[in-house]
């Protein structure tokens, strides 16, 4: 009986070690519960619009925003994280002090509504919740504002934006070399629909524990839903034609360090993402209807999104830099 009991506990121990090993490998980047990191993104836009025979008008804008990711739960199939907007800065303003002040006040409210996402071991966001709650928090009782927000940033575009840091994840492709992988992205064009891109990430060069990644892809236009321009509004578009002249990107990923036999605890835990820059060049045309009058409009649009890991990440309960105020009081996920 004693021998059988020892044998049972030996088998149980082996099974537990095997399950824990598989579990540890399944979490994207090896993330653990309560790990956190933040990513700052700078968005530069330039748009040239020509209405009918009028002279072209050029507008530019720049925005900076920071997203904070907090690991809420880890399972063998997914890593669940809470995502919050902790910083949003607009370079320049609309020229209307009241509108700018109201916009900034509403942005502060977004910190109260966390977005929950699930990321699979290969770095793909498979689920997201809290999207509509965030839009409603920002829009308040203004239903027109809520509709505009949904049109300006539909859920799929929002999910793509949040998931971009995880592009820097080498998937487990079995017998493949793992140096090339794909991501699907969607960029919103507001009332003109969006751009859907199948982006190919490829490791171009590698040294020590980092790698440079080039991004290329095939992009196609997604027409706006039929009802998007059907509701009464001051401006609507028909006959929308959009073409992506170019799409490119580059990133840097930090490869996981390997423990040594001499000091297995020497490995520094860190996110794999270091940086990612994406560039779009777009041309298009449409018929714009305003005040019962329809005119042809042509446009060119260039957009650059540059994202970078911030140094205050926390991995394995260890913080790499000074603890920012937003890290002091974790929020609980929305029910």
Distance CA 131, CA 154 (A): 9
| Beta-carbon count within 10 A of 84 CB | 22
What the block records as the tokens of 204 is 């171009």
Query: pLDDT of 243-265, one tens digit each?
Result: 989 999 999 999 876 655 565 55
Residue with token string 């540059």: 306
* Cβ–Cβ < 8 Å for 197, 222: no
In angstroms, what CA-CA distances link 282 with 57, 91, 163? 16, 23, 23
Got the DSSP string for 29-90? GG--TT-EEEEEEEEEEEEEEEETTSPPEEEEEEEEEEEEEEEEEE-SS-EEEEEEEEEEEE
For 27-172+179-258+267-320, CATH gives: 2.30.230
For position 277, what pLDDT does the model report?
98
Residue 75, CA atoms < 13 Å, CB-side half-sphere: 7
Look at residue 233 and give its three-state secondary structure. Answer: coil
Residue with token string 């063998």: 76
Domain boundaries along the sequence of the chain: 27-172+179-258+267-320
Query: pLDDT of 2-48, one tens digit each?
Result: 444 444 334 333 333 333 333 344 689 999 999 999 999 999 999 99
Task: Read off the pTM.
Answer: 0.78
Q: What is the pLDDT along the chain (335 residues), one digit of tens a residue?
A: 444 444 433 433 333 333 333 334 468 999 999 999 999 999 999 999 998 889 999 999 898 989 999 999 999 899 999 998 888 787 765 444 444 555 555 555 555 667 899 999 999 999 988 777 776 766 677 777 667 666 666 778 888 889 999 999 988 765 467 789 999 999 888 778 889 999 999 999 988 889 999 999 999 998 877 655 444 456 677 888 999 899 999 999 998 766 555 655 555 788 999 999 999 999 999 888 877 788 899 999 999 999 999 998 998 876 665 444 444 334 444 44
Radius of gyration of the chain (CA): 23
Look at residue 243 and give its three-state secondary structure. Answer: strand
């Amino acid at each position: 009986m004693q021998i059988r009991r020892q044998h049972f506990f030996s088998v149980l121990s082996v099974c537990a070690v095997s399950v824990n090993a598989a579990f540890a490998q399944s979490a994207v980047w090896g993330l653990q519960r309560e790990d956190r990191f933040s990513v700052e993104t700078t968005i530069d836009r330039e748009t040239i619009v020509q209405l009918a025979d009028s002279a072209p008008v050029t507008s530019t804008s720049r925005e900076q925003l920071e997203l904070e990711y907090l690991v809420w739960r880890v399972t063998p199939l997914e890593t669940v994280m809470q995502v919050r907007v902790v910083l949003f800065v607009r370079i320049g303003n609309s020229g209307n002090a009241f509108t700018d002040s109201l916009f900034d006040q509403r942005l502060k409210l977004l910190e109260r509504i966390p977005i929950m996402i699930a990321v699979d071991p290969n770095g793909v966001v498979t689920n997201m919740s809290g999207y509509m709650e965030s839009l409603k928090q920002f829009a308040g009782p203004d239903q027109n504002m809520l509709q505009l927000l949904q049109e300006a940033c539909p859920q799929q575009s929002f999910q793509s934006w949040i998931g971009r840091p995880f592009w820097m994840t080498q998937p487990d492709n079995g017998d493949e070399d793992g140096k090339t992988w794909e991501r699907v992205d969607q960029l919103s064009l507001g009332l003109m629909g969006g751009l859907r891109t199948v982006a190919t990430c490829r490791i171009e060069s590698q040294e020590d524990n980092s790698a440079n990644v080039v991004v290329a892809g095939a992009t196609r236009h997604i027409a706006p839903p039929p009802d998007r321009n059907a509701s009464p509004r001051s401006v609507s578009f028909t006959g929308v034609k959009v073409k992506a002249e170019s799409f490119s990107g580059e990133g840097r990923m930090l490869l996981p360090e390997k423990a040594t036999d001499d000091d297995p605890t020497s490995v520094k835990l860190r996110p794999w993402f270091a940086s990612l820059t994406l560039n779009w060049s777009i041309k298009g045309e449409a018929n714009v209807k305003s005040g019962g009058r329809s005119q042809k409009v042509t446009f060119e649009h260039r957009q650059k999104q540059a994202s970078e890991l911030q140094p205050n990440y926390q991995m394995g309960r260890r913080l790499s830099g000074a603890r920012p105020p937003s890290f002091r009081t974790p929020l609980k996920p929305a029910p």
